[in-house]
Amino acid sequence: MTTHYQQVLNRIINRSSKINEVKQELSNLRLPYAYFKKYNILPLNFVEGELDKYFEYDRLVFENIYGSKGSLQLDMEKFNMYDNIHDILQDEFWKKFYKIHNLNIEIYAELTNRSDRTIELKQVFPNLDYYFNKGAIDENSYHKLITNPINNIKATIKMNKVYIESDTQKLVDMDNEVYDKIPMDKLPIGSVVFVGCSSINEGLIVEKICPKTIKFRKHNDPEKKVQVNKDRFEFKIGRFEYQVYSMRDRQYANGVYQYKNGEVVFSTERKCRYVDKWVEE
């Protein structure tokens, strides 16, 4: 079973991988431009004056997402513009669209939203500059269409970074957090269970763990043995805080057992709450 700690760690790894994949793909989109510049294949003034406008990141990302359907979409809900595309492509655009193609405007009235999206995918997006130059899309709408994908990528990367920072802090908190309540089946043999404000606060030495019962000896009277039903005992002490000690004798504890990330660990840094002395160094 995967521990909660490992689950959080896996989330950090997955989100970091997504961010790195997107950054790498963005970088790859511009590789031809970098290649031309680095090896002086074409005159530098031509590359920087004529080619650079075709290698702007927002344009490259737009064409990759809406043209070749690339993998830059970290999160479909964050990147999918089709749900609100009609905020940009209003009736005025479609009237001009049908006029440009000599289509009967009455056809547009019969189209469903789904049909409109098919046209957008198959016709409008691959030829966006054409419709812009024809005056079907105004400059502000054109700018939104081109820049929205890269802005969404930036926002999604930022969101993933926030989640990574939050999960990283969770791991730090988990590393610093102490879990004193060790499950019954994992109580170390020979350890002493101290429970505050209960009838067993004198301490019980764990002697044997059976399928249904736990056998103890009294800490203040080791000759006295106690056998307790495991479920009943867990229910009884589950309402209280308790610590499990490794005892040198009845007054000094060598350390405290804790349960962290699915494992019993031993610590000499915790103060013993239910004995009179500190954990002995």
Q: What is the DSSP string of 242-276?
A: EEEEEESSSS-EEEEEEEETTEEEEESSSPPSSSS
Q: What is the DSSP letter of 61?
A: H
Question: In which residue are the tokens 């469903």 written?
Answer: 112
Say what the pLDDT of residue 238 is: 62
- Give the residue with greater pLDDT, 224 vs 162: 162
**Helices 139-176, 57-66: inter-axial angle, 10-degree rounding:** 90
Q: Is the pLDDT of residue 133 over 90?
A: yes
Three-state DSSP state, 23: helix
Say what the pLDDT of residue 10 is: 93
Question: In which residue are the tokens 């009455």 written?
Answer: 106
Q: Is the pTM of this model over 0.75?
A: no
Q: Is the pLDDT of residue 26 over 60?
A: yes
φ, ψ dihedrals at 203, nearest 5°: 105, 140
* pLDDT tens digits for range 63-121: 777 765 555 555 454 445 444 555 667 778 888 888 898 888 777 666 655 556 677 77
| Distance between CA atoms of residues 230 and 142, nearest Å | 70
* pLDDT tens digits for range 173-223: 777 665 667 888 888 999 888 876 455 557 888 999 998 899 998 887 888
Say what the pLDDT of residue 280 is: 47
Report the 10 Å Cβ neighbour count for 116. 17
Mean pLDDT calculated for residue range 251-273: 78
Say what the pLDDT of residue 131 is: 93
Mean pLDDT calculated for residue range 32-46: 64
Q: Mean pLDDT across the chain, nearest whole number?
A: 77
